[in-house]
Amino acid sequence: MGLKLSIWEQAARARADLRLGAVVVLVRGGAGVLAAGAETLPAERLDDLREAGPVDLAVTARRATTLKARAYDGDIARIAVDADYDLARIRATADPARDLSDPMKGPFHTRREGDAGLHRAAVRLAKQAQLLPAALVATLPSRKAAEAVAREHGLSLIDADALLAAEVNAIGMRPISAARVPMEVSERGRVHVFRPEDGSEEHYAIEIGAPDRAKPVLTRLHSACFTGDVLGSLKCDCGPQLRAAMKAMADEGAGVLLYLNQEGRGIGLANKMRAYSLQDQGFDTVEANHRLGFEDDERDFRIGGTILRRLGYRAVRLLTNNPRKVGMMGNAGLRVIERVPLQVGETPQNAHYLATKAAKSGHLL
């Protein structure tokens, strides 16, 4: 029957479940677990997890470093949640907000026996759901037992290997709608909305002027920055970059702006504000992401390449200072004929931020 959910559909549903505080079931080989977001799980469900089996808090190796917990599983650490751990302590372990004012209550016991594949998938789902990258994981006796729990309680059931494998392929993008939007910089504007086939956030392509598909088009891959784009925040250079890119396209008579909903370099606005709060405590933009348990950049720029190809473009002149964007466009089958620097909007408030990106994230000055 065609009613069976695809791995994308299962993952989209599980992301929504985690955001709500619901428990999902993950299976791999003969093993199965219950998994939940450390940030969202209600207190009464922690007792249910404990009844089901031994509970771990799965965090990234980045977060484990801050906690001084040993990560035996490469990118993941499995912290044993002892019986005396309450939810407040679990959340304080996952959330760095009070690392300084309320220093960690370690030492932590991290597991090294057994396999972390299910924990890795749980953290991956939490990241995709734009929650703190930390998951509570209760190990069940077997895959069969896990499947029975999923059936009995109507919980989402996902194969962990299929979830992690699905990310390897670039996501398909469906064009949904498009219309003319005259703008201040150019009366000839056209906004296209694309919907990813994995049910994640929509992205936009804005054609300015009259781009010729036979020639390399002036292009900007812009990641959403609510604070910079909308509020005019002085902490970053996003707003000035956005406007300068649009003006360059208008001056040239043609260009494509890709407005990608990857707020906070892919961690979402809630986590970005957590990162800003850490920056208020003295950490730089990269350290703040790491303390939260994220990489400094969690974006997948293949999205932009896929959209450009759908629109019929094959070669670009890319407005950016970020060499990773150039590399990823190449991976998505777009030829980058030229990198066009985009250095605007330096303020006293963002000078340190820009210097950090140059020193630690490879941005070109």
Ligand X SMILES: Nc1nc2c(ncn2[C@@H]2O[C@H](COP(=O)(O)OP(=O)(O)OP(=O)(O)O)[C@@H](O)[C@H]2O)c(=O)[nH]1
Residue 132 to residue 117: CA distance in whole angstroms: 19
Known binder of ligand: residue 221?
A: yes
The answer to the question of residue 264 lying near Zn ion (CB under 5 A) is no
211/345 with CB nearer Zn ion: 345
The 3-state DSSP class for residue 305 equals helix
Q: Which of 299, 300, 302, 339 is catalytic?
A: 299
Q: Which of 297, 300, 302, 339 is catalytic?
A: 297
Helices (H) and strands (E) in the chain, counts: 14, 13
Q: Is the sign of the CA dihedral 50, 55, 60, 64 positive or negative?
A: positive
Known binder of ligand: residue 285?
A: yes
User: Closest approach of Cβ 9 to ligand X, in Å?
Assistant: 27
Known binder of ligand: residue 241?
A: yes
Q: Which residue has the tokens 């330096």?
A: 346
Residue 193 burial (C-beta neighbours within 10 Å; 0-12, 13-18, 19+): middle
Q: Which of residues 231-250 bind Zn ion (CB under 5 A)?
A: 236, 238
| Both tokens assigned to 27 | 């299976």
Whether residue 299 lies in the annotated active site:
yes
Residues that bind ligand X (CB under 6 A): 222-225, 236, 238, 241, 262-265, 267, 272, 275, 285, 289, 320-322, 325, 342, 363
63/265 with CB nearer ligand X: 265
User: Closest approach of Cβ 276 to Zn ion, in Å?
Assistant: 10
Known binder of ligand: residue 60?
A: no
25/260 with CB nearer Zn ion: 260
Q: Which residues pair with 159 in a beta bridge?
A: 27
CA distances from 110 to 55, 64, 79, 119, 341 (A): 12, 9, 4, 13, 45
Known binder of ligand: residue 320?
A: yes
Question: Which of ligand X, Zn ion, none has residue 134 at its interface (CB below 5 to 8 Å by kind)?
Answer: none
Known binder of ligand: residue 224?
A: yes
The Cα diameter of the chain in Å comes to 66
User: Closest approach of Cβ 363 to ligand X, in Å?
Assistant: 6
DSSP 117-152: HHHHHHHHHHHHTTS-SEEEEEE-S-HHHHHHHHHH
Q: Which of residues 201-230 bind Zn ion (CB under 5 A)?
A: 225, 228
Whether residue 28 lies in the annotated active site:
no
Ramachandran class of 340: left when φ > 0, alpha when ψ lies in -120 to 50, beta otherwise: beta
Residues that bind Zn ion (CB under 5 A): 225, 228, 236, 238
Tell me the binding residues for Zn(2+). 225, 236, 238
Residue numbers annotated as active site: 297, 299
Tell me the binding residues. 220-225, 236, 238, 241, 263-265, 285, 320, 325
